[in-house]
Homo-oligomer: A and B are copies of this chain.
């Protein structure tokens, strides 16, 4: 039911990425293309990995992840960048199955942490994560530099 993504899944995954961005109220934020995803997942130096969920022959969800690193733990962690289940397949436990699958990968690979980010208004997801034992890192906020500000900081 859950398997590693294959090149044939790229168009489906890109559709899911766009649907997830729309759900996250940023429908125009997706600049990825199929070749970019192909390079990231199956290029010479993969930047990420993905798994997909299948239900009765249809691909109904995916998770994309990579490894981060904690200097406190001295070990890699598993960071889940995207998790998505199609609207018609929700309520069957597929999201939870994807999270369990990634937790198993994290344990197998000796990761100290399994982490992801959630939008503060996504109360349903937050309740699920809390029930699974996830702890919100409330006291930390991510800072991001992009575009012109990044070029300026880089001295370009």
Instruction: Please report whether the interface of chain A is mostly helix, strand, loop or mixed according to DSSP.
Output: mixed
* CB-based contact A81/B69 at 8 Å: yes
Which of A142, A154, A155, A156 is packed against the most chain B CB atoms within 10 Å? Answer: A142
Interface size class, chain A: 35 or more
| Interface segment out of the listed A1-9, A51-59, A85-93, A111-119 | A111-119
Contact string, A83-118, partner B, CB cutoff 8 A, digits 1/0?
Answer: 000000000000000011001101100001111111
Contact string, A126-145, partner B, CB cutoff 8 A, digits 1/0?
Answer: 10010011111111111111
- Please measure, in the bound complex, the distance between the C-alpha atom of A67 and the C-alpha atom of B129, giving whole angstroms: 25
* CB-based contact B145/A137 at 8 Å: no
